[in-house]
Amino acid sequence: MIDFTLSPSQLATRNAARTFASTHLLTAKATYDQIPSHAQRFQSLQPLYEEAVKAGLIKGQIPAPIGGTSNGLIEATILVEEMSAVERAASLTIFGTGLGLTPLCLGFKPEFAEFLTPFLSGVGSPLASLVFTEPGGVANWLEDGAPGLQTTAYLDGDTWVLNGEKAWATNCAGWDFQGAELQCVVCRCTNPDIPVDAPPAARIMILMVRREDIAAAGKGAFEVLKHQQVAGWTAVSGPHVKYTNLRVPAKNLLCAPGAGATIVQMSFEMSACLVGAMGTGIQRAIFDAALAFSKSPRGGSVPIGDRQSVADLLIDIKMRTETSRYLTWKAATKLHSDLPNYDDCRELALEAKVYCSDAAVKSAVDAMNLVGVSAYDLALPFTDLLNDAMVLPIFDGGNVGIRRRALQKLFMSEGYKPWATCYE
């Protein structure tokens, strides 16, 4: 049976998200927008983040079998949509920790429990980060003959030595810019025992770096080189950072060389569903603002929403929002399914990321066209919504360079079944 009715657990997630959003997120932007420094705006979110920890929003992103309270990806998409409809920057800081923990959750072993403990405690403000993107880009990170990742690690006795630069990794520097509680750093192994002609994926590994590792390594081992000033999501931290001979204990190896690429791919396919939910949430906010504006006659005799041109734009925004939600839910369901071919599970996640993020931008532009020049007034929400929507197609694996190319490769693969996502 096809049924979009939320289960009791899913309803509880939605209601908890709405309560948190109305209590803590509704006024957050008005508060942090008064702070001129991007870095300080991020730091101002720490008390709000602590409330999120107390409310179980971090533990709620960790699967129940390993100590968390998450009942699956569908509930995560509901949480993300509800919060993104109200505010984006503080929300992304919360979700960024969930993404940072995803490789650990996917590759979890009992001996890794100590790395998860701070995020299960329900106290404090622990941040996690999946540290992948590099200043030179990562779209071609697994291409044969290409340089590959420039962040490298080699084993020296009982420690890994990490070197390189990363950028755009949400939360990676922590609240004080001395490192997050946990960084899952994706890097290229340069151990001499790996054959020179090995494929790039054979060298990809993931190291777990903790604050105590950075403190033990001493000054200069971890540095923030730059806090990017960005147009949207103006209180999110994803700075340009550098590792210099940072020594990490051998026990911190989450994925050995050769095992890292698959975990990275799976992590970003789960987050693709969540970007779909972000796009849905932003479109909800866009529609609500455009609908409210359409109730005014704007100098005419009837509300402008009674004008066909305005109504057509409203209708398009609403339909995109609804289809974005249903594609996201379907993608989340399929990604957790037990189909024998994983490609049949991941396709809709890729499509959700592309479609919903592009739809959010289109909806923001349509809303501004509906409103007219008044939409450019910063007193109205439309420019902020456009700036927030604009990043969705280009982050978390850009649509053009990564997500569409993954779909292209999937479509052209031997034995591809176009409708297995629907009927199998």
Per-residue pLDDT of 263-280, as tens digits, reads: 999 999 999 999 999 999
CA 254 to chain CA centroid, Å, is 20
- Contact assessment for residue 18 and residue 82, using Cβ atoms and an 8 Å cutoff: yes
Average pLDDT over every residue of 293-303? 95
The residue among 201, 236, 203, 242 whose CA lies nearest residue 220 is 242
Tokens at 338, concatenated: 């037990």
pLDDT at 4: 86
pLDDT at 345: 87
pLDDT at 340: 63
Whether the predicted pLDDT of 1 surpasses 60: no
Confidence of residue 404 (pLDDT cuts 50, 70, 90): very high
Whether the predicted pLDDT of 397 surpasses 90: yes
pLDDT at 338: 65
- Contact assessment for residue 173 and residue 254, using Cβ atoms and an 8 Å cutoff: no
- Contact assessment for residue 305 and residue 291, using Cβ atoms and an 8 Å cutoff: yes
pLDDT averaged over the chain? 96
- Return the bridge partners of 304, or none: none
- Return the bridge partners of 207, or none: 185, 253
Tokens at 350, concatenated: 């890729």
pLDDT at 166: 98
What's this model's pTM, rounded to 2 decimal places? 0.96
pLDDT at 34: 95
Whether the predicted pLDDT of 153 surpasses 90: yes
Contacts 24+ apart (CB under 8 A), 31-37: 32/89, 32/90, 32/234, 32/235, 33/234
Tokens at 280, concatenated: 């849905």
Distances (CA, A) of 252 to 41, 221, 343: 32, 17, 30
Contacts of residue 262, defined as CB under 8 A and 6 or more positions apart, other chains included, come to none
| Residue-level length of the chain | 424
pLDDT at 2: 73
Confidence of residue 14 (pLDDT cuts 50, 70, 90): very high
Task: Write phi, then psi, for 151 (nearest 5 degrees).
Answer: -85, 120
Whether the predicted pLDDT of 339 surpasses 80: no
- Return the bridge partners of 223, or none: 242
User: Packing angle between helix 308-335 and helix 73-84, nearest 10 degrees?
Assistant: 150
Measured torsion, CA atoms of residues 381, 384, 386, 388, in degrees rounded to the nearest 10? -130
Whether the predicted pLDDT of 327 surpasses 90: yes
pLDDT at 423: 77
Tokens at 187, concatenated: 């890097």
Task: Work out the percent of the chain whose per-residue pLDDT is above 90.
Answer: 94
Average pLDDT over every residue of 136-151? 94
How many other β-carbons are positioned within 10 Å of the β-carbon of residue 205? 26
Rounded distance between C-alpha atoms, residue 348 and residue 366, angstroms: 26
Catalytic residues: 396
The predicted-structure confidence for 79-112, as pLDDT tens digits, reads as follows: 999 999 999 999 999 999 999 999 999 999 999 9
- Contact assessment for residue 132 and residue 168, using Cβ atoms and an 8 Å cutoff: no
